[in-house]
Amino acid sequence: MIELRNIVKTYRMGDQVVKAVNGVSLTIAAGEFVAIMGASGSGKSTLMHIMGLLDRPESGQYLLAGRDITGLDDDQLASLRNRFIGFIFQQFHLLARRTAFENAGLPLVYAGKRRSEDKVRAELTAVGLADRFNHRPNELSGGQQQRVAIARSLVNDPFIIMADEPTGNLDSKSKDEIVAILKDLNVKGKTIVMVTHEPEMAAHASRVIVMRDGKIISDERRVRETQKNMTDQGLSSTVILGVLGSSRNKYDAAKFFDSFHQAVYAMFANKLRSFLSILGILIGVAAVIAMLALGSGAQESIKTQLASLGSNLLMVRPGQISLQGVALEAGAGTRLTFSDLNAVGELPSVHRVSASINGRVQVVYGNKNTNTQIEGTNVEYAFMRASQPQVGRFFTEEEVLGRAKVAVIGATVLKELFGDNSPLGETIKVNKINFTVIGILPLKGAGGFRDQDDTIIVPVTTAMYRVLGKDYIESIYVEGDAPEVLDELSQNIQDLLSQRHRIKKKFSDDEAFQVRNMADIKAAIEKTTKTMTVLLGCIATIALLVGGIGIMNIMLVSVTERTKEIGLRKAMGANSRDILLQFLVESVLMSCIGGISGVLLGAGVSLLLTLLAGWTVKISLASVILATTFSITVGIVFGLWPAQKAAQLNPIEALRYE
């Protein structure tokens, strides 16, 4: 069945060269029970690893069922191992946190066929562990653990069993049990190769090979009770070809569930550590969600605010003039009047104008009162600033001329004074003067730190003469015909007003009248909020990146800690892709948990900001998707390197890792 021709394997330690296996030729026939003996360091294990396809010889030939398999790649060797060879190790090598049943079933995961639980049950029962299925290795004696390992070596129906000092760590009673099981397997037809240094163990074998310094020094067959003449048990060149053909076996559900299980166990085994590394992603994702929500909330509220600003709007205010370096009080000599308003209204390409005057007032209704902003305007204001009431009406031209005591109130004032009741027709006291409420302003939302709905609007004349006691207007809103005329119009207004107020340009360093283009303000605000959103996004991304590095760190530790597990899985037939995906599943699982809890936390924080601080936040589906994909990507990207490290481990070195 197995034929080795002139196999050589050397190890280099510094400048010392050890010929661990030095030109061994050996043929093992089906049905044999071979014991390999020899002093420690004589090359027994090395030879067995080569026979078991765990390691590659430096030179020489390996024929399996007559087929030369010397030049196969790692993945092909892995599938041959999985199908044809069962391993039993001195240290048992069971997965610590998995049950006997799961341990025995491990090779099936990599067999690419449906998990056959009946087979696992049968093998465990055959080694006398029918009542120990759900015990973990630390709940089993050494002998029992080794019996689980034997069941594991058999679940895939291998053609040959390789046991390296299987009784080396056991007491004499367990030794007898194990050797009896092996002998029984051999009688039933399994080919067995066992490394041992104990003559009493070798006594059970049908052939004993003795090694010294990497060479075979004796090879004797013993006559034993008559044994059936074994054929190759169906192990033929064609079967090998079939296995190799399907060696790029698919990643299937069994592998995924096993990886998932293992990942969950690993996470729970190191709760604090896992929690901390998940926390990194969690904070990162929460930051992304909350900050994007905040950013787009701000953008949203600014958008409504900008809409209420009106279009093609200029705002004219008295500027500051300084005479020979001495600043005059703002507005002195440049106070705007109604005749200024009318003059500006006469300019070409002016659509309409409105005066404006502001102040703070105390408003009382019944036993409720509030301090709010009052704005006196003309009738046109309602159209220019998108302020026509949806409930009630705006005041009329006659009411402006007659200084009527009527008020249109904002939503905040409405809530403060009237609650849910209708205010229309009610009388409120504004600085102790009775006003009739005639309308409710449309909602404008919070702009920056100012609540735009916390206001009342009254006729400009009423505000000037009855409430604020001023005989001038503070600013003029001018609406141009089109966006293009605004620049020229703004210059014309300045010239006109300077002329009307007899202000000579040469005396003044500054403009006597400030004309602000609302379109420019709009653009500036939009740009600022966009910049803010990008900035917040950057900060959040950095947080995620830091979280990802945390995951990478933990995964590297995990790979190092579980080197032995990786070696075992490879011995059981896992190829490098299986190992890679296993660790990727683990890191993605961690980052997903972090991602999902991060989304929840981020949403919670956003909600809290709305409730407590009254900020406008808007959680978009896009930001949730972005954050989740990002966290999964972080899991893949930062998990890839550790996983690759794991996948590339040599099975023998990994198994030996301390």
Q: Which chain residues interact with ligand ADP by CB under 6 A?
A: 11, 13, 18, 20, 38, 40-46
Output the smallest distance, CB 35 to ligand ADP, in A: 13
User: Among ligand ADP, Mg ion, none, what does residue 112 contact (CB within 5–8 Å per kind)?
Assistant: none
If the CB atoms of residues 288 and 654 are measured against Mg ion, the closer one turns out to be: 654
Q: Identify residues 142-161 at the interface with Mg ion (CB under 5 A).
A: none
User: Among ligand ADP, Mg ion, none, what does residue 507 contact (CB within 5–8 Å per kind)?
Assistant: none
- When asked if residue 45 is in the footprint of Mg ion (CB under 5 A), the reply is yes
Contact 571, 658 (CB under 8 A): no
If the CB atoms of residues 45 and 191 are measured against ligand ADP, the closer one turns out to be: 45
CB neighbour class for 383 (10 Å; exposed up to 12, middle 13-18, buried from 19): middle
* 542 C-beta neighbours (distance < 10 Å), count: 12
- Residues 634/638/643/645 CA torsion (nearest 10 deg): 170
If the CB atoms of residues 20 and 321 are measured against ligand ADP, the closer one turns out to be: 20
If the CB atoms of residues 148 and 205 are measured against ligand ADP, the closer one turns out to be: 205
User: Among ligand ADP, Mg ion, none, what does residue 43 contact (CB within 5–8 Å per kind)?
Assistant: ligand ADP
If the CB atoms of residues 89 and 381 are measured against Mg ion, the closer one turns out to be: 89
Residues paired with residue 316 on neighbouring β-strands, in sequence order: 476, 515
Place of tokens 């025995």: 104
Output the smallest distance, CB 568 to Mg ion, in A: 17
Output the smallest distance, CB 198 to ligand ADP, in A: 13
Contacts of 236 by beta carbon, 8 Å cutoff, 6+ apart: 65
If the CB atoms of residues 38 and 635 are measured against ligand ADP, the closer one turns out to be: 38
Output the smallest distance, CB 10 to ligand ADP, in A: 8
Tokens of 531: 């910049």
User: Among ligand ADP, Mg ion, none, what does residue 42 contact (CB within 5–8 Å per kind)?
Assistant: ligand ADP
User: Among Mg ion, ligand ADP, none, what does residue 18 contact (CB within 5–8 Å per kind)?
Assistant: ligand ADP
DSSP state string for 538-582: HHHHHHHHHHHHHHHHHHHHHHHHTHHHHHHHHHTT--HHHHHHH
- When asked if residue 167 is in the footprint of Mg ion (CB under 5 A), the reply is no
If the CB atoms of residues 45 and 144 are measured against Mg ion, the closer one turns out to be: 45
Output the smallest distance, CB 564 to Mg ion, in A: 16
- The angle, 0 to 180 degrees and rounded to 10, between the axes of the packed helices 563-571 and 518-561 is 70
How far is it, in rounded angstroms, from Cα 391 to Cα 50?
90
If the CB atoms of residues 55 and 586 are measured against ligand ADP, the closer one turns out to be: 55
Output the smallest distance, CB 166 to Mg ion, in A: 12
Contacts of 587 by beta carbon, 8 Å cutoff, 6+ apart: 551, 552, 555, 635, 636, 638, 639, 642, 643
Q: Which stretch binds Mg ion (CB under 5 A): 41-49, 317-325, 454-462, 611-619?
A: 41-49
* 524 C-beta neighbours (distance < 10 Å), count: 10
Output the smallest distance, CB 55 to ligand ADP, in A: 9
Report how many residues bind Mg ion under the rule CB under 5 A.
Answer: 1
Contact 591, 634 (CB under 8 A): yes
Output the smallest distance, CB 219 to Mg ion, in A: 19
How far is it, in rounded angstroms, from Cα 463 to Cα 465?
6
* Binding site residues, Mg ion, CB under 5 A: 45
